[in-house]
Amino acid sequence: MNKSKLLGHLFAIITVVVWGSCFVLTKNLLVDYTPIQIIPLRMGLAYLTLWALRPKLLKLNWKDELLFLLIGITGGSFYFFLQNTALDHTYAANVSILVGMSPLLTVVLAALFSRRGEKLGKKVYLGAVFAVVGVVLVVLNGQLTFHLSPTGDLLALAAALMWAVYSILIKPYTEKYDNFLVTRRVFFWAFLTAIPLCLFTDGLPTLMPLFTQPKVLVSWLFLGVMGNAVCFAIWNIAFKALGVVVTNNYLYASPFVTVFVGWLLLREPISIMSIIGAVLITVGVIFAQKE
């Protein structure tokens, strides 16, 4: 394995650990904000952070700018909007499982629409099966219940599809431009398109809780700086090194990270079923590499 691919795997692992932790820390913000109000707060902070890290302009032609608008919607504002709205219509377990299908959808889209036609071997599909079963076991966490709720389930599946589309669209730009500049432009459009979502639903968020409650401030800084700015940028670097399919396979591990962090910080229970699921996810990610 060359240095570039090794770094790609490392960045993917770091990102999944952080993203899995974000679900737990988001609970601190949900005390004072609605799920939709959190979106522009995270996107705006991520955008400012990336300006501080890379104070350089990214010049794009109008066609690329339109594509970045679409990327900002699919990987930013509408992705989180669909995911958060789904939680209001169905069970959290359903949302976690269905959003966890995004790597599988990415496999399909990559095979169908990738310009270079990412070559997928049998191990990719076998690994996907192991990982999907593992995700289900982790999310259910010992509770053998799964309830169908058409509206919420379809919204969660739409969120998974959004992420798969985002992954395919952004891949060429990770090879063409500095990934921190690419990620910053994504958050610029994600922030702008999140504003009307707030105006038409819960209203714009107030900043007062961020400066009066330390727990809320720390959670916001972690989510915006680490969860969005840094991790989206290094995730795109992983895309460049490994391809969208292999990189997105690491997302299967996110539910287990969430369960583990919830147990560690919030003392939420963790079951043998979740541990078995984690093993299956690990096996699946190992298998689901290109031949």
Three-state secondary structure of the chain: CCHHHHHHHHHHHHHHHHHHHHHHHHHHHCCCCCHHHHHHHHHHHHHHHHHHHCCCCCCCCHHHHHHHHHHHHHHHHHHHHHHHHHHCCCCHHHHHHHHCCHHHHHHHHHHHHCCCCCCCCHHHHHHHHHHHHHHHHHHHCCCCCCCCCHHHHHHHHHHHHHHHHHHHHHHHHHHHCCHHHHHHHHHHHHHHHHHHHHHCCCCCCCCHHHHHCHHHHHHHHHHHHHHHHHHHHHHHHHHHHHCHHHHHHHHHHHHHHHHHHHHHHHCCCCCHHHHHHHHHHHHHHHHCCCC
Number of domains, the chain: 1
Q: Which structural domain, as residue segments, surrounds residue 53?
A: 3-287
Q: Which residues contact 72 (CB under 8 A, 6 or more apart)?
A: 185, 186, 187, 188, 189, 190, 192, 193
Each residue's pLDDT tens digit, 181-212: 999 999 999 999 999 999 998 999 999 999 89
pLDDT of residue 291: 45
pLDDT of residue 12: 92
Q: Which residues contact 170 (CB under 8 A, 6 or more apart)?
A: 71, 75, 182, 186, 236, 239
Q: Specify the pTM.
A: 0.80
Please give the average per-residue pLDDT across 146-154, as a whole number: 68
pLDDT of residue 63: 92
Each residue's pLDDT tens digit, 232-255: 999 999 988 888 878 888 887 776
Spatial CA neighbour of 161 closest among 90, 229, 113, 226: 113
Spatial CA neighbour of 287 closest among 140, 149, 160, 120: 120
